[in-house]
Structure 1
Amino acid sequence: MESPPPPKFVAGQDREDRISALPDHLLLDILERLDLREAVRAGALSTRWRRLPKHLSRVHLNVGQFQGVVPLEAMDAFTSAARALLNVVEGQCERGALKVLSLSFYISSPHLSSIGRLVVDVVSLGQTQCLEFCVLLPPSSNTIPLLAENGQQFMSFSRAYPVAFSWLTRLTLKKLVFGHSDVTDLITACGRLRHLYLSFCRLADPFSALKIDVPRSGIQELEFSFVGCTGIELISVPKLRRVGCQNWIFENPPVCFGYVPELCVVQLFSKAKEWQVPFALSECLSRTGSAMNLSELYLDFLHQMIWIQPEHPKQLTAIFKSLTSVFLLGIFSECDLNWTLFILEAAPALQDIALSRHSCIKTPENSAEKRNVVWEPSKDLKHLNLRVLLIQGCEDEDKVTNYARLVMERAVGLKRILLCDQLPCEDCNAINPEPSLRRSQVDEASRHRIKERLTRGSSSSVDIIIC
């Protein structure tokens, strides 16, 4: 018996589409993969979809998604959308369990109170697992007086809504000016805060240090980028696990560590300025001897001056005893590589070293002079745990070959050497793209010659890979 044909669509017939026929939990899963605008549009499809946004478990609202002639109009639209999605009516929550709430908004006095009240209503239900604020300045608020004023407004906002801030787990602040204790006070008030990112922020007195002393805080990650201060002093941050510092503008070292017993990852990225002189890693890492769990170290020189100076391994052995991975990035190609072995000698547990090399065509204004770094490793150095050496950018055969052979001799457990092409450079390609393409073709032949030179006359079983 043949199956009956599928029913035909009849114009004007009220027939639900197949997607709307799915159970609520699947429809919500679809909506949570859309951005806000698409989710709201989906709500216009039917009465079934229209009520679903109230039951999302994750809500991400970004003022950049809303259009307005002036920032106030964008914030009007932002707060209206937040009110529609988050409002709790008569103490009852229409929505399901809101677990993740991420809000990116401008500092705007007429709207901060609305945002604060909405967030307090949501977190008071006790089901929020992740609350994130990304606080931005309106595009027209870049003058120093306005930056300071907006910083004060933000601190007033945090004090006016302590319940909301006590639930914050991640906070991003851009282009704000703070008093000397504001950052410590803020971290202390945000009891659940785990990640803080300061970008283009500064102290009211930029010729002073940013001091963070939060012995009872559970904060785990701190990131700083273009922060206006003479340095960052982490006096006591006992749960801190990762620190990133990019593009510092004053003297070296950019950050000094006090009591940070759980610190695992340090990332320092910057182009050296002409008024900055190289510093010893022990200057910032060994102040109290409490950072004994460091496992990953990232140093990116961005193809300019090497802003650290090699030092006797004994100065770092205690701090590097758990170090397993080192990434030394943006080494300018003319620089010798042997200096990197002072880290190998100071880190007996080290398993991986990654180097990237390149000499950028573009030299930023006020850059420090590039100088070769000279270091002679100990003749009796024998490292037992290093397994992998990665070199990205092999333009100079002699430097790469001599360095790789030196590592092969000293790292008796070495298993693999990876020789890779240099990473694309936006600055070089933007100025003169053709030579960059030709250089890449030449490098392929060069890397093969390096491999031949490394294996010739060697009894080592190291696997050499051209990638």
Structure 2
Amino acid sequence: VFLNENPKGFIISQQPKEEDRLSMLTDDILLSILARVDVRTAARTSALSTQWRRLPWLLPEISINAKKFLPIPGLNPIEVKDTEEAMASLTKATRSFLGNRHKESSISTLHLKIYLINTFLREVGPLIGAATDSGLLKDLDLTILDEVDALDRSEEDMLQRAQEIDAFFIAYPSVLHFLTKLSLYNVRIDKLDTHHLLFECCKQLKHLCLSRCDTGAHPPFKIDAPNSELRVLELAKSRFERLELLWIQPEMKQLLPAFNKLRKLSVRGIFVEFYLEWTIAFLVAAPCIEMLHIEVWEHTCDLDEKIRRWYPKRRTPRWEMHFDGSKNSLLKELEFIGFRSLRHQFTFIRSILERAPNMQRIVLKGDEQCEYCDALDTPPCPSKFPKDEEQEIVVKRIRDGIFSTQIFFDE
């Protein structure tokens, strides 16, 4: 780039006649660069030159996220007008990439995160439908966002969301045809025609994520889909009286092939009073595991009245597991968060040691900081983590005169 001064005294730049180095790169390299930026940046590159103008539409995979169009990302709470503006921008971007303007488009995989605003869904739905019907779009990852905390959503709100999602899928059935991943937030699942929509209409669904969802006071959430492609079922902070996966019984036989090569396992959010022996089922299914992370839950916020109405009664699982005599010879480290001197926790840790002859290190930690507990006005509960003078007793109780594994305490 050369800088010259024009007659009026302004400095202007002049490009050399030869092509710049970036434009000399091949299309596959330029597409590799574009694949690493967000969709807004990728679209803007089309203004750089004639060569760049067509490149964003040659990407095989794109991600369009309504959160990226918010005026202030990360702001909480988000104003309704901001979500509406974000969806307006998302609709424009979706139309740009999936519309008929670019005949040579190669987009086959779309990751789409949207807010449930009917005004814009009526435009996004037909765009996706047309793209799937034409054979352009073959893989759809759809997330229906909700920024509102579950405790601030009434049952009527969650029911309304379920009805709107139902209406969206019924209005645009093509969306279901190539849906491979679906993530839902704050939805009354029992009011969706879940089984028909997700396991009969969605022939390609492989990953289902339900966050802050529930079934109200109705019967258990049942999934019986032996012919589905479902490979991942992710439940986060959801409230189900019971979840029944009828087609993967018994549990152990299904775990074995799935966890056979697993190296690290993290099991989080176990209620402190639950017996832990059932988690050994994972070790049986994962003979190559090297690190096991267990986190139990006992927080002040769990006593909050809002939460109690969703969890009226705790149940201790009593699964009958018949473990074989094999060992986890590769397991070397156990990290236990939320440790307390409870009988069943000692029993669990010694059971792990019996299965893991090469265990080298056990780390016992107290409860992690919880923003919900901190937000409560009630004084914090005294720590139940072993005090310094109690830790030697804990070590002796775990080792039981048999084991010599190193044990560390981290409050």
Could you tell me the TM-score, scaled by structure 2's length? Answer: 0.67
Q: Secondary structure at the match of 1:294?
A: helix
Match of 1:255 in 2: 243
Residue 385 of structure 1 deviates from its aligned partner by 1.1
Change (3 A) 1:55 1:211: same
8 Å CA contact 2:185–2:213 kept in 1: the answer is yes
In the alignment, the residues of structure 2 paired with residue 152 and residue 405 of structure 1 have an alpha-carbon distance, to the nearest angstrom, of: 46
In the alignment, the residues of structure 2 paired with residue 457 and residue 370 of structure 1 have an alpha-carbon distance, to the nearest angstrom, of: 38
CA RMSD, 1 decimal: 5.0
In the alignment, the residues of structure 2 paired with residue 24 and residue 34 of structure 1 have an alpha-carbon distance, to the nearest angstrom, of: 16
Alignment of 1:102-113 (within 5 A): 102-113=111-122
8 Å CA contact 2:163–2:192 kept in 1: the answer is no
**Which string of whole-angstrom CA distances, capped at 9 and with x for unpartnered residues, describes residues 356-405 of structure 1?**
4676565532568999x9x9xxxxx9944143361425976897996599
> Which of the residues 134, 137, 157 maps onto 2:143?
134
Change (3 A) 1:58 1:428: closer
8 Å CA contact 1:394–1:419 kept in 2: the answer is no
Match of 1:167 in 2: 178
The answer to whether residue 243 in structure 2 is matched with residue 199 in structure 1 is no
Match of 1:82 in 2: 94
Change (3 A) 1:177 1:29: same
Residue 86 of structure 1 deviates from its aligned partner by 1.8
Q: Secondary structure at the match of 1:22?
A: coil
In the alignment, the residues of structure 2 paired with residue 39 and residue 101 of structure 1 have an alpha-carbon distance, to the nearest angstrom, of: 14
Q: Secondary structure at the match of 1:415?
A: coil
Aligned pairs, number: 367
Look up the equivalent residue of 1:292 and give its one-letter code: K
Change (3 A) 1:181 1:397: closer
Q: Secondary structure at the match of 1:196?
A: strand
Residue 29 of structure 1 deviates from its aligned partner by 1.3
Look up the equivalent residue of 2:34 and give its one-letter code: L
**Which string of whole-angstrom CA distances, capped at 9 and with x for unpartnered residues, describes residues 79-109 of structure 1?**
11111122124xx7232x2132011122333
Residue 445 of structure 1 deviates from its aligned partner by 10
User: Which deviates the most, 9-18 or 342-351?
Assistant: 342-351
8 Å CA contact 1:88–1:122 kept in 2: the answer is no
The answer to whether residue 236 in structure 2 is matched with residue 220 in structure 1 is no
Match of 1:320 in 2: none
8 Å CA contact 1:416–1:465 kept in 2: the answer is no
Residue 118 of structure 1 deviates from its aligned partner by 1.7
User: Which deviates the most, 9-18 or 22-31?
Assistant: 9-18
User: Which deviates the most, 27-36 or 354-363?
Assistant: 354-363
In the alignment, the residues of structure 2 paired with residue 17 and residue 53 of structure 1 have an alpha-carbon distance, to the nearest angstrom, of: 19
Q: Which has the bigger relative contact order, CA under 8 A and spacing at least 6?
A: 2
> Which of the residues 47, 52, 56 maps onto 1:53?
56
Look up the equivalent residue of 2:253 and give its one-letter code: M
Change (3 A) 1:215 1:401: closer
Q: Secondary structure at the match of 1:171?
A: strand
Match of 1:33 in 2: 36
Look up the equivalent residue of 1:101 and give its one-letter code: L
Change (3 A) 1:408 1:215: closer
Residue 71 of structure 1 deviates from its aligned partner by 3.9
8 Å CA contact 1:394–1:446 kept in 2: the answer is no
> Which of the residues 351, 360, 369 maps onto 1:425?
369
Change (3 A) 1:20 1:147: same
Instruction: Tell me the percent identity.
Output: 23
Change (3 A) 1:257 1:448: same
Match of 1:23 in 2: 26
> Which of the residues 148, 166, 182 maps onto 1:155?
166
Alignment of 1:438-457 (within 5 A): none
Match of 2:303 in 1: 364
The answer to whether residue 184 in structure 2 is matched with residue 184 in structure 1 is no
8 Å CA contact 2:326–2:355 kept in 1: the answer is yes
The answer to whether residue 253 in structure 2 is matched with residue 292 in structure 1 is yes
User: Which deviates the most, 129-138 or 111-120?
Assistant: 129-138
Change (3 A) 1:25 1:77: same
Larger helix percent: 2
Residue 39 of structure 1 deviates from its aligned partner by 2.4
> Which of the residues 310, 322, 327 maps onto 1:385?
327
Q: Secondary structure at the match of 1:207?
A: coil
In the alignment, the residues of structure 1 paired with residue 243 and residue 211 of structure 2 have an alpha-carbon distance, to the nearest angstrom, of: 15
Q: Secondary structure at the match of 1:156?
A: helix
Change (3 A) 1:216 1:356: closer
Q: Secondary structure at the match of 2:141?
A: strand
Change (3 A) 1:12 1:112: same
8 Å CA contact 2:69–2:89 kept in 1: the answer is yes
Q: Secondary structure at the match of 2:234?
A: strand
Alignment of 1:59-70 (within 5 A): 59-67=62-70, 69=81
8 Å CA contact 2:113–2:144 kept in 1: the answer is yes
8 Å CA contact 2:224–2:247 kept in 1: the answer is no
8 Å CA contact 2:220–2:244 kept in 1: the answer is no
> Which of the residues 399, 413, 416 maps onto 2:359?
416
Look up the equivalent residue of 2:116 and give its one-letter code: I
In the alignment, the residues of structure 2 paired with residue 445 and residue 48 of structure 1 have an alpha-carbon distance, to the nearest angstrom, of: 71
In the alignment, the residues of structure 2 paired with residue 144 and residue 370 of structure 1 have an alpha-carbon distance, to the nearest angstrom, of: 19
Question: Structure 1: which 5+ runs fail to align?
Answer: 1-6, 226-245, 262-288, 299-322, 376-380
Residue 170 of structure 1 deviates from its aligned partner by 0.8
In the alignment, the residues of structure 1 paired with residue 391 and residue 399 of structure 2 have an alpha-carbon distance, to the nearest angstrom, of: 13
